[in-house]
């Protein structure tokens, strides 16, 4: 696909992955409209931290995914829609499950309806590996059962099923991209890697939850490039496609690796309040990324060691801004 002049909407553009995707699209000369959740501070999230040339090239629409009229206005005139907007916090979803459903399910319904009625050429809907729950087998392929082990993951399963239904019922060209554990600059402080790094930069000990779960980490630019490929390749329509590295590491070993990469270590203290409810914990995630490789020609290019070092250097340089911008929403 030639992105030059292509009219593109990115929901969740003020968030972690969304802001990196916006950078890639602007770099490819797309005409980018961004949708960010309105807030009384007038904050555009991480969009405001992009280079002035990048930020100056995008159109910003403020609103709420739960408002169908605003979503319709945002989608109008766009050829491709990348839907990343969501309420993403798992702990927050325990306390506010109805909000998770309203934003993630009803908000996705509004995006899909607008794309159907306005004739969008391609929609890339962002899912999550949390929809798989704890692995029943590894590596996890796209045929793995879905298990709602938190209100957040259940809401994302509902959103994914809506996206599949619109493809089947209305021939809407939707690709469902299921990233595993994306990390990198601008990730929320709630996530594991920035939590560890921020504590290493500011404290003498690490307060963590469970140390045994494994995760499959992918650097954020690799994830964003996978989303671009999903839009570019016609054969992705109607498919669910994993974006993961195909390797796993447990929390304890990850902390040790971060220490080796950054030259900083600290004693670990486990906190019960950081441990998920037993039946809600996802104990193992390991992706099978063969479909992404075969259909899209995509595979990760940034090693975990490289990505961790780049993330740490960015965090150290942007610690104050990072802490101010961290939220429970992908705005």
List residues with catalytic annotation. Answer: 152
CA–CA distance, 285 with 124 (Å, rounded to integer): 23
Residue 219 sits at φ, ψ, to 5 deg, of -70, 145
Angle, alpha carbons 95-148-138 (nearest 5°): 130
Pairing of strands 329-330, 86-87: antiparallel
State the Cα angle at 158 between 152 and 164, rounded to 5°: 140
**What b/e sequence results for 196-217 when a residue is b if at least 16 CB atoms lie within 10 Å of its CB, and e otherwise?**
bbbbbeeeeebebbeeebbbbb
Reduce the DSSP state of residue 256 to 3 states and report it: helix
Q: Could you tell me the two tokens for 166?
A: 């619109």
Instruction: Tell me the backbone φ, ψ of residue 208, rounded to 5 degrees.
Output: -135, 170
Mutual angle of helices 107-118 and 68-75, in 10-degree steps: 40
Alpha-carbon dihedral 21, 90, 320, 313, rounded to 10 degrees: -60
CB-CB contact of 276 with 210 (8 Å): yes
Put the strands of the sheet holding 59-63 in their side by side order.
Answer: 59-63, 31-37, 7-11, 80-83, 122-126, 174-179, 240-243
């Amino acid at each position: 696909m030639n992105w030059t002049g292509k009219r593109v909407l990115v929901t969740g553009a003020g968030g972690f992955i969304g802001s990196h995707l916006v950078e890639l699209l602007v770099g490819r000369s797309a005409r980018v409209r961004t949708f960010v959740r309105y807030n009384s501070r007038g904050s555009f999230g991480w969009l405001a931290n992009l280079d002035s040339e990048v930020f100056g090239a995008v159109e910003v629409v403020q609103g709420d995914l739960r408002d169908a009229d605003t979503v319709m206005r945002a989608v109008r005139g766009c050829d491709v829609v990348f839907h990343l907007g969501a309420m993403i916090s798992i702990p927050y979803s325990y306390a506010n499950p109805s909000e998770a459903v309203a934003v993630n399910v009803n908000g996705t319904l509004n995006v899909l309806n607008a794309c159907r009625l306005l004739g969008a050429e391609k929609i890339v809907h962002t899912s999550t590996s949390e929809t798989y729950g704890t692995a029943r087998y590894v590596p996890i392929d796209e045929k793995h059962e879905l298990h709602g082990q938190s209100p957040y993951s259940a809401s994302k399963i509902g959103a994914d099923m809506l996206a599949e239904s619109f493809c089947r019922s209305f021939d809407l060209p939707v690709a469902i991209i299921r990233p595993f554990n994306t990390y990198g600059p601008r990730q929320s402080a709630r996530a594991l890697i920035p939590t560890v790094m921020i504590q290493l930069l500011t404290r003498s000990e690490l307060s963590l939850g469970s140390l045994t779960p494994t995760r499959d980490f992918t650097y954020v630019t690799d994830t964003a490039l996978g989303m671009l490929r999903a839009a570019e390749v016609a054969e992705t329509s109607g498919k669910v496609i994993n974006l993961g590295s195909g390797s796993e590491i447990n929390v304890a070993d990850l902390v040790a690796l971060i220490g080796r990469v950054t030259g900083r270590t600290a004693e670990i203290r486990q906190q019960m309040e950081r441990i998920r409810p037993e039946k809600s914990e996802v104990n193992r995630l390991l992706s099978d990324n063969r479909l992404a490789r075969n259909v899209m020609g995509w595979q990760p290019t940034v090693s975990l060691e490289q990505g961790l070092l780049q993330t740490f250097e960015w965090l150290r340089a942007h610690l104050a801004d990072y802490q101010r911008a961290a939220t429970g929403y992908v705005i």
